[in-house]
A and B are shown apart, each in its own frame.
Chain A
Amino acid sequence: MRRLYAIDEGAAALGLFVGQKATDATALVPDLRLEEADPGADADALLVLCDWCARFSPAAAPDPPAGLFLDITGLAHLWGGEAELGQDLIVRLARSGVATAFAIAPTPGAAWALARFGPSGAIVAEGELAQSLAPLPIEALRLEAEAARQIARLGLCAIGDLAGLERPALARRFGQVVLERLDQALGRATEALVFRRPPTPWLARLALVEPITAPDDLARVAVDISRQLCGRLEERGMAARRFELGFHRLDGEIPSVRLSLAMADRDPARLARLLSPHLEKIDPGFGVEVVTLLAGEVEPRPPRALRLDGEPTSAEALAPLIDRLVGRLGEAEVWRAEPYPSFAPERATRRAPPLSAPAQATWDPERPRPLRLFSRPEPIEAVAPIPDDPPVLFRWRGLAHRVKRSEGPERLAEEWWRRPFAAAAPERIRDYYQVEDEAGARFWLFREGLYDSGPPPRWWLHGVFG
């Protein structure tokens, strides 16, 4: 049976309601325009709207089907107050044709209830929570429709009516979830929202009087906003490792620049310098109206860490270089190799951030390991007349090498715990040999498999020694 999924104001005025049979509705209003509901597209649109809200708070969580949570803790001062923030949000959404109601409250549950069932634009402070929620209907508690109906059938119409009842009785009668929702709304229980981005007070925001498009203007606001956020970081003795500069365009798109630094920093001049080469990739479209700068991985930092002799510490001295290299080549291209406990040679190292403290453990210098390891072993044609001996002759990349000396084998078995037990087989055993040809060049060869079982063994070259 087809029912109405959502209606607009005009339809509501004609007496139609959500959940009504479609046939009944068309009987009442013959020229009613019906569209197929598409919940998937609605959810996608909600996510887009959620990301758009980054201009108000980095911590925005979608609340399907048609709600959004914004954590605006510590951010309202950027607008001059909570009421102004809310008004700005409503006006901007209305301009894009989205009708919205909002409420600001200390808990997500209370804000949800007030936005839907309370006075429009309600702003509730910590102390007035219970009082302002009391007259709202039971549905405002975000309950299953059935549970809400059951409570209403007992003559309990408002949230305030529940407050007088004994908690154990309430839980027994209507389920634990009713108590939980009540506690969440009143701030007696915490509620974890899944934000698109973690909430942070480290957000700076510049609302521009006139939308800007010129590259020079973008560069200038980047400097201004860096100064603003870095000033606040400095005041609190903090510094950040990650920054995200977002340009909120008139059309709702948010092209942004992400920076990650080798060491936490708060120098606005340096930040602006690192941001500036990326600004040319920003497409301002028809204009940028709001600019936000978000700091991540914020950590305390004393004014300046100096060694006793006044020289900056080595990591601090290198940080600018690492940041320049990362900016030019990409974050994945600058690293420090770190030992990783694995028998497989290709997994014995792991990439670590370049300026992190080196691990205490290191590789065993006594095991022969090549200086250049090929990411993929290369097949070689080998003449190995004696089983379990290295080849006497092999051909690699068109050149024949006569083996003069060798050491080995070093047997490295496959790490069987990485695969299903049945897949571990003798042909996955590798016997590594270090061989030297007549010119003195050294190679790291291995034979895959055993002579007495499985398919015939194959020879590979995995690396070259210096």
Chain B
Amino acid sequence: MSKAERLQRARARIAALGKDDISVAGVLAFGDPRVDARLPGGGLALGRWHEAAGEGLEAETAATTAAFVSLLAAPLATRGAVLWVLRRDDLYAPGLCGLGFPAERLIQVKARNDDAALAALEDALGQSGVAAAIGEAEEIDLTAGRRLQLACERGGATGFVIRRRPFGGRTKAREAALAAASCWRVAPSPSVPEPGDPGLGPPRWRVALERCRSGGSGAWIMEKSHGAHPLRVVAELADHELAATPAWRMAG
């Protein structure tokens, strides 16, 4: 058996092992090989749930994470209903509308605590007719994550969990949810307006794929675009670039 043959066989075995990790519901490609190559199946797995988190103040306001997730979910809104399970009633529909998300059809739900939010999210994901459901929670343990996964498989919907700390809450070490199909970390990034434009450019984010089932990891600068996918990759970041520039600095 030649080396190439052995390698071939090993790859096939690995692919077979990870078969159940490749979504049956299909994928939503970013349309950029720099991102799609890191994701199994060549895009964001549908019928799974994904996690997005921010840091510093962002962990409390969850604005960039909400923007990122709403852009990921926007193409799904044509396939069915979208629900957003909130922990605070501060999601502003005109702002969502400005990002190109059909906010007037979004069903918003407010839950009193994490458990209620995750239960509502699970319920929504298991319901036929729901294309995507977004939930906000501070913590999500392995059991809750598995339950979300089962609900996704039952209903075929795609889930998103935004990690969000209550205002004034204590900072805890965040652990990426193990049951999530992918974990993203999102931070703001300075916009680059057109030359000669004194104002703001389209919003940009520093997006890191921290962990992905049967996929890789990576970091990119993404920008809101009017193309096929609402997110456009502007640049790919090397690991050291990501580590060197913390998104938030304490100033005093």
**A residues contacting the other copy or chain, number (CB 8 A):** 56
Let me know if B90 and A374 touch, CB within 8 A.
yes
Let me know if B120 and A339 touch, CB within 8 A.
no
Distance in angstroms from A317 CB to nearest chain B CB is: 3
Distance in angstroms from A94 CB to nearest chain B CB is: 48
Residue of B whose beta carbon sits closest to that of A337 = B93
- Given A362-B104, A373-B92, A406 and B110 contact (CB-CB distance below 8 Å): no
Give A375 to B167 CA distance when docked, in angstroms.
14
Residue of A whose beta carbon sits closest to that of B62 = A372
- Given A439-B190, A466-B63, A333 and B127 contact (CB-CB distance below 8 Å): no
- Given A318-B127, A370-B92, A399-B250, A329 and B110 contact (CB-CB distance below 8 Å): yes
Distance in angstroms from B225 CB to nearest chain A CB is: 15
Instruction: Encode contact with B along A454-466: 1 for CB under 8 Å, 0 otherwise.
Output: 0000000001111
Of the 9-residue stretches A28-36, A224-232, A270-278, A320-328, which lies at the interface with chain B?
Answer: A320-328
Q: Which residues of A contact B64 (CB under 8 A)?
A: 441, 466
Q: Which residues of B contact A399 (CB under 8 A)?
A: 57, 248, 250-251
Q: Is B98 an interface residue when CB atoms closer than 8 A count as contact?
A: yes
Q: Is A5 an interface residue when CB atoms closer than 8 A count as contact?
A: no
Select one of A325, A336, A339, A400 contacting B106, CB under 8 A: A336
Let me know if A369 and B95 touch, CB within 8 A.
yes
Distance in angstroms from B192 CB to nearest chain A CB is: 10
Interface positions, chain B 197-252, Cβ under 8 Å from A, are 198-200, 203-206, 247-252
- Given A317-B127, A440-B188, A325 and B104 contact (CB-CB distance below 8 Å): no
Q: Which residues of A contact B248 (CB under 8 A)?
A: 399, 439
Q: Is A236 an interface residue when CB atoms closer than 8 A count as contact?
A: no
Let me know if B128 and A369 touch, CB within 8 A.
no
Give A14 to B78 CA distance when docked, in angstroms.
84
Instruction: Encode contact with B along A54-67: 1 for CB under 8 Å, 0 otherwise.
Output: 00000000000000
Q: Is A404 an interface residue when CB atoms closer than 8 A count as contact?
A: yes
Q: Which residues of B contact A400 (CB under 8 A)?
A: 251-252
Q: Which residues of A contact B105 (CB under 8 A)?
A: 336, 358
Residue of B whose beta carbon sits closest to that of A435 = B200
Let me know if A325 and B123 touch, CB within 8 A.
yes
Let me know if A365 and B104 touch, CB within 8 A.
no
Residue of A whose beta carbon sits closest to that of B81 = A318
Residue of A whose beta carbon sits closest to that of B221 = A440
Q: Is A368 an interface residue when CB atoms closer than 8 A count as contact?
A: yes
Q: Which residues of B contact A329 (CB under 8 A)?
A: 109-112, 116, 120
Q: Which residues of B contact A318 (CB under 8 A)?
A: 81, 107, 127, 129-130
Give A374 to B109 CA distance when docked, in angstroms.
17
Select one of A312, A321, A442 contacting B200, CB under 8 A: A442
Let me know if A371 and B129 touch, CB within 8 A.
no
Let me know if A440 and B204 touch, CB within 8 A.
yes
- Is the interface on chain B under 10, 10 to 19, 20 to 34, or 35 or more residues? 35 or more
Let me know if B68 and A466 touch, CB within 8 A.
yes
Q: Is A100 an interface residue when CB atoms closer than 8 A count as contact?
A: no
Give A466 to B73 CA distance when docked, in angstroms.
15
Q: Is B80 an interface residue when CB atoms closer than 8 A count as contact?
A: yes
Q: Is A207 an interface residue when CB atoms closer than 8 A count as contact?
A: no
Q: Is A405 an interface residue when CB atoms closer than 8 A count as contact?
A: yes
Let me know if A442 and B129 touch, CB within 8 A.
no
Let me know if A367 and B98 touch, CB within 8 A.
yes
Distance in angstroms from B155 CB to nearest chain A CB is: 10
Interface positions, chain A 427-466, Cβ under 8 Å from B, are 434, 436, 438-442, 463-466
Give A405 to B251 CA distance when docked, in angstroms.
19
Q: Is A407 an interface residue when CB atoms closer than 8 A count as contact?
A: yes
Give A329 to B87 CA distance when docked, in angstroms.
12
Residue of B whose beta carbon sits closest to that of A314 = B129
- Given A325-B123, A349-B92, A465-B67, A339 and B104 contact (CB-CB distance below 8 Å): yes
Give A425 to B90 CA distance when docked, in angstroms.
29
Q: Is B108 an interface residue when CB atoms closer than 8 A count as contact?
A: yes
Most buried by B among A375, A407, A466: A466
Let me know if B98 and A369 touch, CB within 8 A.
yes
Give A314 to B128 CA distance when docked, in angstroms.
9
Q: Is B150 an interface residue when CB atoms closer than 8 A count as contact?
A: no
Give A368 to B95 CA distance when docked, in angstroms.
7
Let me know if B95 and A463 touch, CB within 8 A.
yes
Q: Which residues of B contact A441 (CB under 8 A)?
A: 57-58, 64, 188
Q: Is B189 an interface residue when CB atoms closer than 8 A count as contact?
A: yes
Interface positions, chain A 370-418, Cβ under 8 Å from B, are 370-375, 397, 399-400, 404-407
Let me know if A338 and B97 touch, CB within 8 A.
no
Q: Is A93 an interface residue when CB atoms closer than 8 A count as contact?
A: no
Let me know if B81 and A349 touch, CB within 8 A.
no
Instruction: Encode contact with B along A336-365: 1 for CB under 8 Å, 0 otherwise.
Output: 111100000100110000100011001111
Select one of A317, A365, A438 contacting B100, CB under 8 A: A365
Q: Is B70 an interface residue when CB atoms closer than 8 A count as contact?
A: yes
Let me know if A466 and B66 touch, CB within 8 A.
yes
Most buried by A among B57, B104, B205, B249: B104
Select one of A314, A370, A436 contacting B191, CB under 8 A: A436
Let me know if B57 and A397 touch, CB within 8 A.
yes
Let me know if B199 and A337 touch, CB within 8 A.
no
Select one of B63, B104, B119, B249 contacting A370, CB under 8 A: B63
Residue of B whose beta carbon sits closest to that of A336 = B107
Q: Is B103 an interface residue when CB atoms closer than 8 A count as contact?
A: yes
Q: Which residues of B contact A370 (CB under 8 A)?
A: 63, 92, 95
Let me know if B61 and A464 touch, CB within 8 A.
yes
Let me know if B108 and A337 touch, CB within 8 A.
yes
Let me know if A405 and B63 touch, CB within 8 A.
no
Q: Which residues of A contact B181 (CB under 8 A)?
A: none
Let me know if B190 and A404 touch, CB within 8 A.
yes
Q: Is B44 an interface residue when CB atoms closer than 8 A count as contact?
A: no
Let me know if B95 and A334 touch, CB within 8 A.
no
Can you list 16 pairs linking A and B with CB atoms under 8 Å apart? A318-B107, A321-B123, A321-B129, A321-B130, A324-B123, A329-B109, A329-B111, A329-B120, A336-B105, A339-B93, A359-B104, A362-B104, A372-B90, A375-B89, A405-B191, A439-B190
Interface residues of B (CB under 8 A from A): 57-58, 61-68, 70, 80-81, 89-100, 103-112, 116, 119-120, 123-124, 127-130, 187-191, 193, 198-200, 203-206, 247-252
